[in-house]
Amino acid sequence: MSLKKQGALQAWLRPANPDWATDSHRYIFPPLSSDGIRMHITKQADRTVEVLVSTRDASFTFHAPMPQQLAPKGLFVCVTWQDGETIDLQLGEEKVGSHPFHLPALA
């Protein structure tokens, strides 16, 4: 599948363990992909979230603390991108990271 000039990839995360967001365990979630973007999400033992976003030719790694408050559905994770602007990560209600994003550099 080819990479679209703009798009979004999102997920709600909520493992069976009710203390997963605050415990000192590592959780690796199944990868997600859409529109030429693949997202790998890991909740680290230090209660940070690592999101690796990759295309066929490039990758971006975001690190952010786990939000203090989670929605009843769990942790909302959303990556949005637009060619010529940025690729952004949102955790919960907050935008927590951004990288420049240019398709010609990736082709």
For residue 78, count CB atoms less than 10 angstroms from its CB and return exposed for 0-12, middle for 13-18, buried for 19 or more. Answer: middle
- From first to last of its 107 residues, the chain has per-residue pLDDT tens of 467 788 899 999 999 999 999 999 999 999 999 878 899 999 999 999 999 999 887 899 999 999 998 999 999 999 999 988 999 999 999 999 999 988 754 44
- What string of DSSP letters covers 37-63? EEEEEEE-TTSEEEEEEE-SS-EEEEE
What does the domain layout of the chain look like in residue ranges? 6-106
Say if CB 64 and CB 41 are below 8 A apart. Answer: no
Counted residue by residue, the chain has a size of 107
- In this prediction the pTM is 0.88
Residue 40 CB partners (closer than 8 Å, separation 6+): 28, 29, 31, 51, 52, 54
Cβ count within 10 A of residue 62 = 21
Say if CB 51 and CB 90 are below 8 A apart. Answer: no
